[in-house]
Amino acid sequence: MTPDELKKLCAEAAQFHFKTVCIPPTFVSQAVELLKNASDVSVITIVGFPLGYSTTESKALEARLAIADGAQEIDMVINIAFAKAHRWDDVEADVRGVAQACGTTPLKVILETAYLSDDEKVEAAKRAERAGAAFIKTSTGFATASGPTGATLADLRLLRETLKPTTKIKASGGIRDYETAMRMLEAGADRLGTSSGVAIVQHQAVQHQAVQNRPNDGGKDY
């Protein structure tokens, strides 16, 4: 991201009333300034990104500094090595350390589902929830794997079955069109992370207008 791209991103978010912009930590204060007149758009940044291998102390410091700069939500990546080694107490402690640093600022915990088995996804999600996560998020968008690397419908359904109703889910990675976005929401996502937000909402607007312009054909619902 360049400063000019940041300006464009924030302008689009304000125009289309997106929930958030998710940006690198170095741009948080600038994004807050750019969005000061768009009260419905929050600023998110990431810590321990994208591999989660930073120490808990450094993730916590990143979170505190970002919040001081004006970040309204924090996205962290779990320590994937700990998860693959089934060091679940360490996974939970890592999340708890960042959650405590966040205080009342909502924390989203990224599992990077492409690297985890279903059993590992379930355990990681439960541990993150118990440690204070407000959201469980599927992916960073940076994973490389033989299978799907972003959000999948199966993963969303699995997470929704696993988590408490009060714990939210963010689907991220590979959401590029309106149809996919709607399927993700229907599968249990509360929030969508996508770089195709403008295209998605414009397609929705086009569809909505097309329905309004249809002739009356006997009272069918669309």
Q: Tens digit of pLDDT for each residue in 153-171?
A: 999 999 999 999 999 999 9
Structure letter (DSSP) for residue 122: H
- The answer to pTM > 0.95 is no
Q: Which of 75, 108, 155, 168 does the annotation list as catalytic?
A: 75
**What pLDDT, on the 0 to 100 scale, is given for residue 119?**
98
**What pLDDT, on the 0 to 100 scale, is given for residue 166?**
97
Cis ω on the peptide bond leading into residue 50 (within 30° of 0)? Answer: yes
Radius of gyration (C-alpha) of the chain in whole angstroms: 18
218 falls within a domain: no
Give the chain's residues under pLDDT 70. Answer: 208-222
112 falls within a domain: yes
Q: Which of 108, 121, 137, 168 does the annotation list as catalytic?
A: 137
Domain total for the chain? 1
222 falls within a domain: no
Q: How many residues does the chain have?
A: 222
- Annotated catalytic, 84? no
Q: What is the CATH number of the domain that holds 43?
A: 3.20.20.70
102 falls within a domain: yes
**What pLDDT, on the 0 to 100 scale, is given for residue 203?**
87
Distance CA 159, CA 167 (A): 10
Q: Which domain holds residue 19?
A: 3-142+150-212
- Annotated catalytic, 170? yes
- Residue 137, classed as helix, strand or coil, is strand
- Annotated catalytic, 220? no
Distance CA 154, CA 207 (A): 27
217 falls within a domain: no
**What pLDDT, on the 0 to 100 scale, is given for residue 220?**
35
